[in-house]
Amino acid sequence: MTAAAFAPFQTVAAQLLPHTLEPSEDGAHDLSHLQRVWHNVRLLHRHEGGDLLILLAATLLHDCVAVEKNSPLRAQASRLAADKASTLLSTLNWPNEKISAVAHAIEAHSFSANIAAITLEAKILQDADRLDSLGLLGVARTFYVAGRMGSALYDPQDPQAKSRDYDDRRFCLDHFQTKLLHLANGFQTATGQHMALTRHEKLKNFMEQFIEEAGLDG
């Protein structure tokens, strides 16, 4: 793993990177995801402020406990990651107030955990992580995860769920309606909201074109 992508804190990043990801085959939550979230964090920080060192640690450690999307423990993943991050940062002699700030940002970033983001850093991390679930990156990650879980692209009998409940564990297209198309409504910062709306339009356009090309709009 390279620390160069996490400027201007390459030294701290090199310290934390060996602890960021548990062994996993999940390409939606890998080093490239951490790099993209950090890129989003830097963009948001430029306009919103916040403690960039806390944001770095929270970014690198927010997925440090691997829990699959379809696991019954999914809603606890961010709390488990926050606990692990706190223990690690304590061994590295970080001040308690910074450890607490990192832990809160990690706990609150998760869509599944439903924990309110109180601090600016928590709001920025939540926005930065959710931006990676929108736009064309969101499309790519959604189909990637669906493939890993063995989901079908859509229900051939009722692709737009007009006469059934949505089931995004079985049908990838349903996930746009159960989660992705609602994400842009929950952003915490003004900068994040603006970026989210732009990516939301790309996501919506993709879904509409997918439905048209598959002949599902008749």
pLDDT in tens, 120-137: 999 999 999 999 999 999
Q: Which pLDDT belongs to residue 27? A: 56
Q: Mean pLDDT across the stretch 38-63?
A: 96
Among 77-86, 94-103, 109-118, the range scoring the smallest mean pLDDT is 109-118
Q: Across 62-163, where does the E strand assignment appear?
A: none
Q: How confident is the model at residue 203 (pLDDT cuts 50, 70, 90)?
A: very high
- What's the mean pLDDT in 82-108? 95
- Report the pLDDT value the prediction gives residue 30, as an integer from 0 to 100: 78
pLDDT at 71 over 80: no
Q: Which amino acid makes up residue 88?
A: L
Mean model confidence pLDDT for the chain:
89
Long-range contacts of 75-83 (CB under 8 A, 24+ apart): 75/110, 75/112, 75/113, 75/114, 76/113, 77/110, 77/112, 77/113, 78/106, 78/107, 78/108, 78/109, 78/110, 78/112, 78/113, 78/115, 79/107, 79/113, 81/106, 82/106, 82/107
Backbone angles phi, psi at 150, to 5 degrees: 75, 25
| 42, amino acid identity | R
Say whether pLDDT at 1 is over 70: no
- Mind listing the domains of the chain with CATH numbers? 4-121 (1.10.3210.50), 135-213 (1.10.3210.50)
Supply the pTM of this predicted model: 0.88
Indicate the DSSP class of residue 168: T
